[in-house]
Chains A and B, each alone.
Chain A
């Protein structure tokens, strides 16, 4: 396998082309790096070569390092990681110094990068080491360093080079937020040098005329000063004071990569460039050895992508949706219509009145107008998308739909009626999906004449923003229906998980106990502030009380009543109901009524806690330990995930973890509930669960599966990893 090839032309330009066989996008492997190294050695040694252009044989430059390789590097321990990273540094430094005399800085060979399209991660770090970066006029290309999004940071000199180029403040959005830019914006930000029609030609021309001085990086020249000042420069000092505080506040101390990145920047800023690279490598190694980065790469990249590519898709011909019928143009239906139309799918949006159907369609108009005002869309695009949506009351319009998504009121009778009406019109082979969040699929399927073609597709609100879609198989759901649902989710560019039909499916099953545990604590006299902060400090995006205010308290009441009716005497959540029923009775239904656990101002902005909380449920004089609160909130969710696995609702822990992070924001740093339990280790997790059970009730009792794993010393990813089915 050859990832890099080199051609030398008559003018003395060596064109190095990166083209990894069998992949649509270049990613760098260790072997690839060794190949590139040999080619650079060859070109630098060859007297006939005057300059070098590094480009790609694909439409994009590169997507970054092969994250599977990064995940694998960790196996060799810290020394192997550090040595591997230093090898990359030596290669890139060789490119940067290009054979020039170390004292006079003369005699180096110009090396330029020519980027036809997207250049991410090492795909930008490599160009940053060259002497000039040319990008094609390709507004779809994304240029940046997104490493932080998967729990690591740019570790092949990208951190050190960008900070020296742009200063700590200038580099911050790219390093700390992983901000991506199109070529024009990348140029104005100083990430790249030129945007041209033909980057290879421009790069070729440049290397032939570049002078010695053009090759010397500012940080290799005498008298270099970091833009904005190094940490003990008066202006730099303020920047670094602020940077620490902002990163600390924002990451809540649970994302080790951001802190390590900042340390590499701080420590690196005060020493010569090569020493800074060594410092960067030490911190990168430190982050890679942290279980959080492994867990984040696993869930947020490798497994997320595997699920999106159909890891659990049954064998079936392509089921791409051409025309979708959406029943119910409320908030969910309107959102589903929007994402479908955006994906190029024809949409029939039905509601009982024309006015309601049109209102549903206008949701798309609103989103597109907003996008236009932010220059993310155009009037033409808007017209095109809206033309795909037919808003009507007429079921006959559903003729020719190959997928129906029903999103009407959560009432089995209403749902049964629209199911029958739609099935009377749609083709025999169409798949019928319900977007219920609370009703069992198998029960709803009874209304269908073709229950094997009946499935649950559970969207989260707001549909256009939420990344996860939960696909639920009813008892009789057939494989083609699953394939259809998965192909639809792929079309609308969301991430699917496939679960079996049981009360609340997977996501809500885990979220409800989280919310309930928070509410229970209020009733126990735990400080609401402490509850919310404890959750956030574990990396939950919203505390349980804020979350229930967002999802609405009357929904909680409704779910509680339905659950109680279903469970009878075994119903365990009376303590929760005592609180939420009281709030609901006073009309405090959450954010939508501008009153819930929190107070809201007239504009709906959240203020402090409702003063009534303190009078109804006074805070106890002695407050529990923070860790205990965090364990309660985290185990409430994680044990439910384990039970879902144990009961076969969840068939693949990858779906459990990816679904938890994308669905309800479960502590992304942990890689998901199974990743988190693996970090704790089964014996410790079972021990904590049992002690919580003893103190707070049997809802925390360790499931048998966890107990067995503890006894055998197993981990979830050891036992159920990559595709291994649950027992």
Chain B
């Protein structure tokens, strides 16, 4: 079978997803196009260099609607013969773009792709595209719909993680992210965002709060307690699904959940011929990809079964993996992953994660693949696995191997 290689991985810094965030002035199309231009320039791409741009994005309305991928290609300096495909698998959209591209290449449908995604959470609010699963009674009753935060708290309750466990993970995420920036570990990936005049708008992740302590976090109010216990009372719905739970422990808050940010990421995937044609050296191969559907109520446990599946499909064992990226959507998701596979916390999210750096929904899947590759190179290790939990009960994973 043809191999799919990663030739480049780039991302923008993550801006706070708020009106006072640095990237708030930049449109989703512009941010996407400038990153695509960077990939084009860094790799000397010309003409119909790639078969398609597969662009993950979750909230596909307003400026992110209307096939954002095509708009981004047309706004960029890429050739108009390159089409553009916008996809949505919620938080794993960026990973799904990479996996889809890799599998197209492996299957012979084109030599190369740019895959990644964008989310301007401060400009297009999460959830503003609507979702039948949250409001259509036919679906809400069948799936025992609860919001993700409640699901994260269910994981904590079911698997026995305390507020202190979650807060400790959050403090560690902040600590590692700070070290990563101090040591310039993201240098190879970061593409500063500049305006039309070449002036820098943002060149550094700005959501982080280095030096966050357990005491700081202890002051924060649980975010999902009220909606769970009182109005409208999601805990009752959850307990219909999990009648063995006497109560839901609400441990998550703004400090141990992923941050709302703006950002974009792109990965250049191609076969060996593509690399030769452009004189590029492959950095890693995509060794395996996987996705899976899981219980939609607890919703966010996908990383465990999808990891089991990807290991089985590729004939590998957990011990074959040197480093992990498990998206820090909520602390309990990562705690559950480490508990299930008994992996050393030291090799999981080595440079911090979405709790410290933020989680631009449609981009994160591509970001963590890039972060994983950079770190494998820095530590001179070989095999890495990236995985994310996904809304409505799904999971996605990618295994990369340096070459």
Contact = CB atoms under 8 A, between A and B. Distances in A.
Interface of A: 231-232, 234, 237, 240-250, 252-253, 259, 262-263, 266-267, 527, 529-530, 533-534, 537, 608-609, 623, 626
Describe B's contact surface by its main secondary structure: loop
A520 to B, nearest CB: 18
Contacts of A240: 134-135
A529 B237 CA distance: 15
A249 B231 contact: no
Among all A-B residue pairs, the 9 with the closest Cβ atoms: A249-B236, A533-B243, A242-B232, A240-B135, A244-B140, A529-B246, A262-B137, A245-B232, A232-B130
A534 B239 CA distance: 10
A623 B244 contact: yes
Contacts of A247: 137
A76 B335 CA distance: 57
Contact of A529 (B233, B236, B244): B244
A244 B227 CA distance: 13
B245 interface: yes
B146 interface: yes
Interface in B144-172: 144-147
Interface in B220-241: 231-237, 239-240
A266 B236 CA distance: 22
B247 interface: yes
* Highest count of chain B CB atoms <10 Å: which of A240, A244, A245, A247: A245
Contacts of B137: 244, 247, 259, 262-263, 266
Nearest to B130: A232
A286 to B, nearest CB: 11
Given A240-B134, A245-B233, A246-B232, 12 more contacts: A237-B127, A243-B232, A247-B137, A248-B141, A248-B237, A253-B141, A263-B136, A266-B135, A529-B243, A533-B239, A537-B240, A609-B246
Contacts of A530: 243-244
Contact of A237 (B130, B140, B231): B130
B128 interface: yes
Contacts, number: 82
Contacts of B146: 245
Nearest to B139: A244
B149 to A, nearest CB: 13
Contact of A249 (B130, B135, B237, B247): B237
Contacts of A253: 141, 240
B138 interface: yes
Contacts of A231: 130, 135-136
A20 B233 CA distance: 45
Nearest to A239: B135
A227 to B, nearest CB: 17
Contacts of A534: 243
A253 B297 CA distance: 15
Nearest to A619: B244
30 contacts: A231-B130, A231-B136, A232-B135, A241-B134, A241-B147, A242-B231, A244-B135, A244-B140, A245-B233, A245-B234, A245-B236, A245-B237, A246-B232, A248-B144, A248-B237, A249-B232, A249-B235, A249-B240, A250-B236, A253-B141, A262-B137, A266-B135, A266-B136, A527-B244, A529-B244, A530-B243, A533-B243, A534-B243, A537-B240, A609-B246
A232 B133 CA distance: 12
Contact of B141 (A244, A250, A529, A623): A244
B148 to A, nearest CB: 13
B243 A537 contact: yes
Contacts of A242: 231-232
Contacts of B243: 529-530, 533-534, 537, 626
A222 B245 CA distance: 50
B237 A241 contact: no
A247 B247 CA distance: 19
Contacts of B234: 245, 249
Contacts of A248: 140-141, 144, 236-237, 240
Nearest to A609: B246
A155 to B, nearest CB: 16
B135 A241 contact: yes
Contacts of B138: 263
A530 B232 CA distance: 23
Contacts of A252: 240
B14 to A, nearest CB: 26
A244 B234 CA distance: 10
Contacts of B140: 244-245, 248
B232 A241 contact: yes
B240 A608 contact: no
A252 B144 CA distance: 11
A706 B128 CA distance: 56
Contacts of A537: 240, 243
B29 to A, nearest CB: 23
Nearest to A232: B130
Nearest to A241: B134
Nearest to A263: B137
A537 B144 CA distance: 14
A263 B240 CA distance: 20
B145 A245 contact: yes
Contacts of A250: 236
Contacts of B232: 241-243, 245-246, 249
Nearest to A240: B135
B231 to A, nearest CB: 7
B90 to A, nearest CB: 17
Interface in B244-294: 244-247
Contacts of A608: 246-247
A320 to B, nearest CB: 45
A534 B232 CA distance: 22
B135 A237 contact: yes
Interface in B86-129: 127-128
A672 to B, nearest CB: 23
B332 to A, nearest CB: 20
B145 A244 contact: yes
B125 to A, nearest CB: 9
Contacts of A243: 232
A239 to B, nearest CB: 9
Contacts of A249: 232-237, 240
Nearest to A261: B137
Contacts of B235: 249
Contacts of A267: 136
B179 to A, nearest CB: 40
A259 to B, nearest CB: 5
B135 to A, nearest CB: 4
A255 B237 CA distance: 14
A234 B135 CA distance: 12
B122 to A, nearest CB: 17
Interface string B73-93: 000000000000000000000
A249 B144 CA distance: 10
Contacts of B237: 245, 248-249
Given A253-B240, A266-B135, A608-B246, A234 B141 contact: no
Contacts of B135: 231-232, 237, 240-241, 244, 266
A112 to B, nearest CB: 35
Nearest to B131: A237
A614 to B, nearest CB: 11
A276 to B, nearest CB: 15
A537 B134 CA distance: 22
A537 B238 CA distance: 12
A597 to B, nearest CB: 12
A720 B128 CA distance: 57
Contacts of B236: 245, 248-250
Contacts of A266: 135-137
A252 B237 CA distance: 8
A266 B145 CA distance: 16
Nearest to B150: A245
A46 to B, nearest CB: 45
A485 to B, nearest CB: 41
Nearest to A234: B128
